[in-house]
Chains A and B, each alone.
Chain A
């Protein structure tokens, strides 16, 4: 169904990573995870995923910074970014979108909500 699209999860919290792992597996995505911002860029450059599920609050390098780096790299132009944050204020959303994120989702989220957001981001990639 998901046509083997590849998703990279950048998330330092193991528990939420478990839930994301479950969902992405169920939806049939090919997925992988890194737990710190420092590793993220290298992995994105190496694997060029279709979608990065990117937490904002990360150790070392923030999600905003990763988002900005991805958007600056022309080689990564096709990579979609869905940002996740536990704070979720309207201003954070605005900042994320201004930096080039394709979507923004606030934690806690329902699985169906996340599934729809992931689909929407990837559909945008196709269209």
Chain B
């Protein structure tokens, strides 16, 4: 079959056909032809001798001589072929693979020249070439490393900055593919699945508002106003969140058709809900007051014309209803007041630190007494308020300030700011509160800060000293401070200028998105065993994206045999409460959407997933590449193609603790695949189709190598 296909493609050109065959096969064919030739020559020679002898009785003698000579010649040829195959053809294959590993995959370290010891100076010469190559490279690498260190320090600073800003920041190409996102954006967008580089933004956000804003900016740029920003309001695809965004176009990169853009996002879901509730309340206020007032007015008109006795009970009833309505509505408004402002959980100790810094900055002293409470408040506003009050009090002779926070029965807490010096009257306090807190902050008054928190403030006494009391409506006891979460930014700016990859078959390998994955299982039989762990990483633009990792334990719904636990270390206790294969499979399918799947011995892992396609509700019909087969393509079929052997050849180290964990093996497979990619390209296979065609030639390879 394969030969036929090759012949029809090469149109009968024998030389070209031969070149496509592997070296070892060609050597074999050469010796086979030699054997046939020798046999032919022997038969012909004996036939001519027998014919000349003219004695028919000598025939058995000639046949015996021919058989003995023929077997001896054939034996010699097979023996020579065997030596040639082992010491020349196979040695050349191994040597070529080793050289290619050094040329394309930047494998370093000395070459093993033993298999090529019968090739004369070839192996030492190749070793010398690769050594020189390594030296040149290392000199270059050192020079590059110096510059890179400087640049990477700057890059790290910018990354830290962008990962810490409390808004979601996205950068998209003109085709709305994600090029950059920060950790906050992950929180905002990750309703269904976490964002991934080079995915379309519309996997996460509704399309309309984004396209509309993009079109508006495009028109503005065409009209000569490239610096405009467009504000938009946009829901996530699931509708779970409403986000307020601002879009700004980037400079056009390369020959891209449309410029990319920066999109900053803020969650306004709560704001929108609070706004809607306030609107509803306001509508209700007007409705109930208008009706009551109209009724009272009508009844009073009747009363004025002498009908007092008739309408008096009705009037009383209306007035009571109206009064009840006002009280109830005011109460609801009061409760909903704090919703209108973003009040964040703030550690009392953080707030005290800021306030102390501010007060001590003004040359005053502040003693503090703070239980471990978390307050729901606008910390900045509270510090501004208390700081401004302390400074004003100091202007009237107050000193030796002390701030105490006490937990109150119920959900609240109470600040008590006391001092040595003259007391402050409630009248003076109220007048201060009505004015701006600081020069230049005309629209931030003390009264405004109190209203934002739904509280009042009043003078009091604390341990015999004059004081100010400020309650906070919501406080809770603080737990341990959680460790800071690594909120990395994820990006690849090269995606900005990149043309779309188009159909997988014709796309360049480098332009494809790959999801490399590995599973751990209860055993080796895909027909009856179950998955206990799935891990995957994404490769975009020829790079492993550190921040895009899928890693989950899976509850197999059965006992894990101790022999399997021995291999991967996953116990029954670890998978208790983990998602089942249906849920984990769905999540993995979303993670792998639109990508080429890569695994080491992919048929094994895929068999489990295919078997559960029904429960998962999705088919894993992605294009697939198998690193076992790619290794065979690159290094030849005679080598071992286990993951360990492949990594060893490519100079990839799998940390011992990571070996046989799904994520450890996945990362190793991904790194191996990334090194195999330039080696495939070096051998003229740069599209998916070309790689697949070559892989199929090696398709007979055994598949029990995991």
Query: Contact string, B427-467, partner A, CB cutoff 8 A, digits 1/0?
Result: 10010000000000000000000000011111110000000
User: Contacts of A65 on B, CB cut-off 8 Å?
Assistant: 425-427, 430
Q: Contact: A110 with B430, CB < 8 Å? A: no
Select A108's contact among B326, B334, B455, B459, beta carbons within 8 Å. B326
Measured in the bound complex, the distance between the Cα atoms of B454 and A98 in whole Å is 17
Q: Contact: A61 with B455, CB < 8 Å? A: no
Q: Contact: B458 with A99, CB < 8 Å? A: yes
Q: Contact: B334 with A89, CB < 8 Å? A: yes
Q: Distance (Å) between the CB of A113 and the closest chain B CB?
A: 10
Measured in the bound complex, the distance between the Cα atoms of B323 and A98 in whole Å is 27
Query: Contact string, A66-78, partner B, CB cutoff 8 A, digits 1/0?
Result: 0110000000000
In the complex, whether B387 has a CB less than 8 A from a CB of chain A is no
Q: Contact: B430 with A88, CB < 8 Å? A: no
User: Contacts of B326 on A, CB cut-off 8 Å?
Assistant: 108
Q: Contact: B330 with A88, CB < 8 Å? A: yes
Measured in the bound complex, the distance between the Cα atoms of B426 and A95 in whole Å is 10
In the complex, whether A94 has a CB less than 8 A from a CB of chain B is yes
Measured in the bound complex, the distance between the Cα atoms of B337 and A92 in whole Å is 14
Q: Contact: B330 with A95, CB < 8 Å? A: no
| Given A62-B430, A108-B323, also A90-B334 (CB < 8 A) | yes
Q: Contact: B323 with A68, CB < 8 Å? A: no
Measured in the bound complex, the distance between the Cα atoms of B459 and A99 in whole Å is 8
Q: Contact: A87 with B330, CB < 8 Å? A: yes
* Interface residues on chain A, number (Cβ under 8 Å): 20
Q: Contact: B425 with A108, CB < 8 Å? A: no
Query: Contact string, B328-356, partner A, CB cutoff 8 A, digits 1/0?
Result: 00100010000000000000000000000
Q: Distance (Å) between the CB of A82 and the closest chain B CB?
A: 17
Measured in the bound complex, the distance between the Cα atoms of B430 and A20 in whole Å is 28
In the complex, whether B73 has a CB less than 8 A from a CB of chain A is no
User: Contacts of B276 on A, CB cut-off 8 Å?
Assistant: none
| Given A98-B469, A110-B320, also A91-B427 (CB < 8 A) | no
Residues in A49-107 with C-beta less than 8 Å from chain B: 61-62, 64-65, 67-68, 87-92, 94-95, 98-99, 106
Residues of B in contact with A (beta carbons under 8 Å apart) = 319-320, 322-323, 326-327, 330, 334, 425-427, 430, 454-460, 469, 471
The 5 residue pairs across chains A and B that have the minimum distance between CB atoms: A65-B427, A108-B323, A91-B456, A95-B456, A95-B458
17 further contact pairs, Cβ within 8 A, besides A65-B426, A99-B459: A62-B427, A64-B427, A68-B427, A87-B330, A89-B330, A89-B334, A89-B454, A90-B334, A91-B454, A91-B471, A98-B458, A98-B460, A98-B469, A108-B326, A109-B323, A110-B320, A110-B323
